Amino acid sequence: MAGYQTDRGAVYSLGYHLVWCPKYRRPVLVGPVAERLRELVKQKCDEHGWSIVALEVMPDHVHLFVRADPEASPSYLANQFKGMTSRVLRQEFPALRSRLPTLWSRSYFASTVGNVSAATIERYIDTQWERPWRKEQAR
């Protein structure tokens, strides 16, 4: 079961692609701010046991592909990353406080990422009764 994680009651493979932007899409995520943001995202993942598959900090937005446990909803993930990073970055870089009323816009993009396509899952579910051992159970 390569690529799957387990805990006491579940086997899972949950990946999320998250994107969020600074307020007014200002290009403030450069140089030391961008480097510190990367460190903070990694720190938050370590704190929760999530794993970063890919992370790109662009001047005006952040792309994160993260694997998380079933208890972490996409909104929880986005709020964890945005809340902590905003507080710390605005404390450490006063220029961010003077340029923006808040660091991040209220919105974010979230998409699930899986090992199996939606078409494969649909086909698997649609053909459940066609499996030989299922036909025996139906009798």
CATH code of the domain in which 129 resides: 3.30.70.1290
Is residue 29 in a domain? Answer: yes
Q: What is the pLDDT of residues 99-139, one digit of tens each?
A: 899 999 999 999 998 777 778 877 877 887 776 655 555 55
Burial of residue 59, with CB atoms counted within 10 A of its CB: 0-12 exposed, 13-18 middle, 19 or more buried = middle
Is residue 20 in a domain? Answer: yes
Kindly tell me if the per-residue pLDDT of 33 is higher than 60: yes
Average pLDDT, the chain: 90
Is residue 108 in a domain? Answer: yes
Q: Which domain holds residue 33?
A: 9-138
Is residue 54 in a domain? Answer: yes
Q: Is 124 a catalytic residue?
A: yes
Is residue 4 in a domain? Answer: no
Is residue 40 in a domain? Answer: yes
DSSP code string of 94-121: HHHHHH-SSSB-S--EEEEE-SS-HHHH
Ranges 15-24, 31-40, 113-122: which has the least confidence: 113-122
Is residue 1 in a domain? Answer: no
Looking at the DSSP bridge assignments, the partners of residue 112 are 16
Domain total of the chain: 1
How much is the pLDDT for 134? 53
Ranges 6-15, 35-44, 66-75, 80-89: which has the least confidence: 6-15
Is residue 50 in a domain? Answer: yes
Catalytic annotation, pick one of 12, 24, 76, 124: 124
Rounded CA-CA distance 98/128 in Å is 59
